[in-house]
Structure 1
Amino acid sequence: MTQSYAQAPIKTVSAANGIEYAYREVGEGGVPLVLLMHFRGNLDYWDPALVDALAQGRRVIAFDNTGVGGSSGTSPSTVTQMALDAIAFIDALDLAQVDILGFSLGSFVAQEIALIRPALVRRLVLASAAPQGAPGMHGWAQWVIDSVGKPEVVPALVLDVFYTHSPESRLAGEKAMGRMFSRAELDAPTTWQTRQAQYDAVTAWGIPSFSLLERVTAIRAPVFVAGGDSDPMILPRYSHLLAGLIPGAEIKIYPDAAHGFLFQHHEEFARDVKEFLERV
């Protein structure tokens, strides 16, 4: 029986950029799948049910980027630097090629990795994603950033952003949150410096620019774009815009779901991702 993500120990690796990265890995075989986390999240914010499903027959690696959680350094305030730091982590593990699943802010970083070092990325999954320069993405709605951006994280407010108000979605969110924080050895919490730097990066990414939208047309790796139909943080129209810009990209929007659609629909999403990654 493969070890569960909920029991996987936190490991560290030193990279050439001088950063010591904290990470967890589960599964073995296949092209490694590297997970890129959302705004303010650390290793604990990945749903073990999703990670374990993805790790059936495949090595899956989650990590804290520079300055996040248990990793050393200071969180950068640009998506480009986050991507360069992620590449440094992947290089430190001696991985010549990977698949990448980027979630929210992590999806921005994933796009940059695919543009900066195309040969590194075999396939790309972009969850709750938007392209750089999309009109209307210059910061989140005030109630959204008030819910997830205050100094003290309030679980009930996070649920309002990550799940819909339907009983089914809210119950799924509560269950996912319970799975995430059930382990004895928790990661170091993210700091206010990380919060500020990451939101600066998100805001800069969303400065409207039609010329910047063209950048993703250079992505040649196969891409699967996914999102929730009621996501208030990164609206579904940005998933459609992104999928329309990337040559050959596939898209799926999950029903009665908000920003945390991949945890709410973890079984279906894991099947869809595995089918996409394993397709000949």
Structure 2
Amino acid sequence: MTRPALVRRLVLASSAPQGADGMHGWAPEVIDAVGNPETSPEEYLSVFFTGSPASLRAGRQTLQRIYGARSEDRDTATNWATREAQYDAVCTWGIPDHAKLQRLSGLRMPVFVANGDSDPMILPHYSHLLAGLIPQARVKIYPDSAHGFLFQHHAEFAADVDAFLGGPR
């Protein structure tokens, strides 16, 4: 928004616009899964993947890649303070404010908005709202997936992003 000439194309994955009504906090099922200091990787499955066998299989494969693929040079694991800070940010971001929503019409570059059809953290209707407020946006909702749609549908998402970024200049 501050320097739009620096961004040729923009990808927004599981994103919601600042000021959207209903974004103030997390849904109860998200709080149940990750809203306590001691959360296991398995508890993230319900937030990042649906309950279908295919989605849970993709979730377990993702957990295996995250926790079992590398033992060196790993990112620092998130902790309770990280989740508390994210929750506070979501609460602030989600204070309804029509003026902040209207700012999105100032984005003039092509924008690809993507989400899972069952994302409990960022409901898919926020993806449609984003796409409706941004003049050159297109939206894609991936089936049978949640907040981790880009892990579950990694090949399709990567191909979609590649095609989007390689589009006409």
Instruction: Give distance in 2, aligned partners of 1:198 and 1:175.
Output: 25
**Corresponding residue number in structure 1 for 2:84:** 196
The one of the two structures with greater contact order (alpha-carbon pairs below 8 A, sep at least 6) is 2
Deviation at 1:180, TM superposition (A): 1.9
Partner SS state of residue 8, structure 2:
strand
Q: 1:156 to 1:193 in 2, by over 3 A?
A: closer
Please state how far the C-alpha of 1:142 moved relative to its aligned partner. 2.1
Which of the residues 150, 155, 166 maps onto 1:262? 150
Provide the C-alpha distance between the structure 2 equivalents of 1:233 and 1:116, rounded to a whole number of angstroms. 27
- Counterpart amino acid of residue 64 in structure 2: G
Query: Contact 2:11/2:112 (CA < 8 Å) preserved in 1?
Result: yes
Residue identity opposite 1:166 in structure 2: S
**2:127 counterpart of 1:228:** no
Root mean square deviation of aligned Cα: 1.3
Instruction: State the shift of 1:149 in Å.
Output: 3.1
* Aligned counterpart, 1:139: 25
- What is residue 183 of structure 1 aligned with on the other side? 70
Mapped to 2, the partners of 1:137 and 1:261 lie a distance apart of 20
| Greater strand fraction, Structure 1 or Structure 2 | 1
1:167 & 1:193 partners in 2: Cα distance?
32
Aligned residues: 166
More helix by share: 2
> Residues 149-228 of structure 1: matches in 2 within 5 Å?
149-181=35-67, 182-185=69-72, 186-228=74-116
Native 8 Å contact 1:133 1:206 kept in 2: yes
TM-score, length basis structure 2 = 0.92
For 1:36-47, what aligned pairs fall within 5 Å after superposition?
A: none
Q: 1:229, 1:177 → 2: CA distance?
A: 21
- Within a 5 Å distance, the mapping from 1:55-204 to structure 2 comes to 115-181=1-67, 182-185=69-72, 186-204=74-92
TM superposition shift of 1:191: 4.0
* Identity level (%): 64
Q: Which residue of 2 aligns with 1:273?
A: 161
Please say which of residues 260-269 and 196-205 is displaced more in the overlay. Answer: 196-205
SS of the residue corresponding to residue 9 of structure 2 reads strand
In the alignment, the residues of structure 1 paired with residue 83 and residue 4 of structure 2 have an alpha-carbon distance, to the nearest angstrom, of 29
Give unpaired runs (5+ residues) of structure 2. none
CA distance in 1, matches of 2:77, 2:66: 13
Q: Is the 8 A contact 2:36 2:80 kept in 1?
A: no
Q: TM-score, normalized by length of structure 1?
A: 0.57
Give the Cα separation in 1 of the matches to 2:17 and 2:42.
29
Q: What are the Cα deviations for residues 210-245 of structure 1, in whole angstroms up to 9, with x where unaligned?
A: 222101111122100001111111111000000000
Is contact 1:147-1:154 (8 Å) kept?
no
Measure the CA separation in 1 of the matches of 2:42 and 2:81: 23
Alignment pair present for 1:247 and 2:138: no
Structure 1's unaligned 5+ residue stretches are: 1-114
Cα displacement string for residues 121-143 of structure 1 (whole angstroms, at most 9, x for unaligned residues): 22110011110111111001122
